[in-house]
Amino acid sequence: METKIFDISYEGAGVGQIDGKIVFVPKTLPGEEVEICLTKQTNSFDIGKVEKILSESPHRTESVCPYFAECGGCDFLHCDYEYEKELKIKILKSELAKVGFQGKIEFQPSDKRFSYRNKVKFEIRGNKLGFFKAKSNEFLEIKKCFLASEKIENAFKVVREFLQKFGMKGAKSVYIKEFDENVAICFLFDKNIKNWQKLAQNLSFFGNFSVFFAFGKILESDKTQIVGAYNSQILHTTFMGVTAKSSISAFNQINDFVAEKLYDFVLENVKGKRVVNAYSGQGLLTFLLSKECKFVYGIEYQKSAHDSAENLANAGNVKNICGKVEEKLPQILSTDEISAIVLDPAREGCDKAVLQSIISGKIPQVFYVSCNFSSLTRDIAFLRDFYEIESVKIFDMFPCTANMETACILRRKSEI
């Protein structure tokens, strides 16, 4: 079948049409004519796979990665970075148009298009490392990821060698994450393993790296038990001149350069205010905000991340609260007058109760930082009668992928 790609979907796939029905064709670009085969059909749309490119976009480039055609990680390795930027702005524009925003979208590029990730999760199958294929749970072995930083890449090679030599029975995935001291490696087992020491026998193979075992469904959960299996030590991260005691399981921004730009953007805009930093993670931004603001509350429900934040906060104008934003925010608003709130939730976005508190608390300014524009637009739609979008900026935290970090500044509409 042949189709002409006329648009780009929010997931970064080319959009074509066959006999009036929309077909999404990943890894194609607007303007291209392509020959495809259908891989999935639903009532409202189809999904296609490129067989042949009949006419190429001038922006098409050769992918640097041999896994691009199959891997679920990257979406834009087939075009140059300038064009990726254009596509991302176009995608966000059409998403935000759904909540009535027609204004300008600014774009903060990443300094690196490749080798920017300071943390990567790899799947383990037998003695192999890899990722999932696009939109599936099918494993794809990989021998290199172009998005991983050099340090992660080096550790990845050691993990691969280790698995080939000794294996790691029961491990489902492995996280490799940079810290000040060294790179830490954490194997995740979805079951509790009583005598895990047996599995730790050959870990001296990892030399200077620290190795952890985590037992649980997801690393970031407080329910997951984490043990130092080899060379475990207190880990620190230094970011924007601040050194914090950190942990393998706590959330961190994965692209340092872009994260710094994002934090600067927030800091510039909230000077002198009483601020709530909701979904505050390890508290770095809370700490930086305390230098610029009258008072700052950090709210974070993961205990280890909250503990890191507590370790950092030594000024008198900071209060870190461990708990759910939906429960803690109304308590703050009942006793304090807040002039701005920073929201940086996980992919699911904010609970309705959080948005309702913002509305009833009449907070003048909302900074919504989001890595998922579906939940972002849903939440903005909820706030829409009371807040208008003042400015929007994409922080390109995840080059080569259709994911993007978006910061929206919302201002309370004047009361009628």
Ligand X SMILES: C[S@@+](CC[C@H](N)C(=O)[O-])C[C@H]1O[C@@H](n2cnc3c(N)ncnc32)[C@H](O)[C@@H]1O
Name the residue number minimizing CB distance to ligand X. Answer: 281
Q: How many angstroms separate the Cα of 213 from the Cα of each of 173, 190, 219, 237, 398? A: 11, 11, 10, 20, 27
Residue 414: burial class (beta carbons within 10 Å; 0-12, 13-18, 19+): exposed
What's the min distance (Å) between Cβ of 169 and ligand X? 30
- Kindly state the DSSP code that residue 28 receives in the 8-state scheme: -
Cβ 351 to ligand X shortest distance, Å: 6
User: x-or-dash pattern for ligand X, window 10-29, by CB under 6 A?
Assistant: --------------------
Residue (257 or 301) nearer to ligand X, CB: 301
SS3 348: coil
* Interface stretch with ligand X, choices 44-52, 68-76, 80-88, 340-348 (CB under 6 A): 340-348
Q: What residues from 278 to 307 belong to the interface with ligand X (CB under 6 A)?
A: 279-281, 285, 299-302, 305
Task: Work out whether 139 is an interface residue with ligand X (CB under 6 A).
Answer: no
First to last CA, the chain: 56
Phi-psi region of 115 (alpha: psi -120 to 50; beta: other; left: phi over 0): left
The single residue among 256, 344, 379, 396 that binds ligand X, judged by CB under 6 A, is 344
Instruction: In angstroms, give the least distance from the CB of 305 to ligand X.
Output: 5
Single-letter code of the amino acid located at 298: G
Q: How far is the CB of 368 from ligand X (least distance, A)?
A: 12
At its nearest, how many Å lie between ligand X and the CB of residue 300? Answer: 5
Residue with tokens 């495809």: 36
Shortest distance (Å) from residue 299 CB to ligand X: 6
- Is residue 372 involved in binding ligand X (CB under 6 A)? no
- Closest contact distance (angstroms) between CB of 192 and ligand X is 22
x/- track of binding to ligand X for residues 56-95 (CB under 6 A): ----------------------------------------
Query: 223-232 long-range CB contacts below 8 Å, 24 or more apart?
Result: 224/188, 224/249, 225/192, 226/186, 227/196, 229/187, 229/196, 229/199, 229/200, 229/203, 230/200, 230/203, 230/204, 230/206, 231/203, 231/206
Distance CA 65, CA 63 (A): 5
Stretch 201-260 residues interacting with ligand X (CB under 6 A) = 251, 253
Q: Which is nearer to ligand X, 199 or 333 (CB)?
A: 333
Which letter does DSSP use for residue 116 in this model? -
Residue carrying structure tokens 């020959």: 35
404 is a contact residue toward ligand X (CB under 6 A): no
Which C-beta is closer to ligand X: that of 174 or that of 258?
A: 258
Q: With CB under 6 A, what is the number of residues at the site for ligand X? A: 17
Choosing from 324, 378, 384, 412, the residue that interacts with ligand X (CB under 6 A) is 324
Q: Is the dihedral of CA 172, 178, 181, 182 positive or negative?
A: positive
Residue 267, both tokens: 């800091």
Give CA–CA dist 271/261, Å, rounded.
16
State in angstroms the smallest separation of the CB of 250 from ligand X. 7
Q: Which one, 210 or 253, has the nearer CB to ligand X?
A: 253
If one asks whether residue 313 binds ligand X (CB under 6 A), the answer comes out as no
- C-alpha 64 chain-centroid distance: 23
Nearest CA-CA partner of 276 in 344, 222, 220: 344
Nearer to ligand X (CB atom), residue 210 or residue 247: 247
Q: Smallest gap, in angstroms, from Cβ of residue 8 to ligand X?
A: 25
**Per CB under 6 A, which region of 52-60, 132-140, 144-152, 342-350 contacts ligand X?**
342-350
Q: Which is nearer to ligand X, 33 or 220 (CB)?
A: 220
Burial 332-346 (b: 16+ CB within 10 A, else e): bbeeeebbbbbbbbe
Taking the complex as a whole, the smallest distance from the CB of residue 252 to ligand X amounts, in Å, to: 6
266 binds ligand X, rule: CB under 6 A: no
Minimum separation from the CB atom of position 323 to ligand X (A): 7
Q: For residues 108 and 91, give the distance between their C-alpha atoms in angstroms, rounded to a whole number.
A: 15
* 107 versus 301: smaller Cβ distance to ligand X: 301
Structure tokens belonging to residue 175: 């996280």
Q: How many CB atoms lie within 10 A of CB 258?
A: 24
Does 406 help bind ligand X (rule: CB under 6 A)? Answer: no
* Residues forming the site for ligand X (CB under 6 A): 251, 253, 279-281, 285, 299-302, 305, 324-326, 344-346
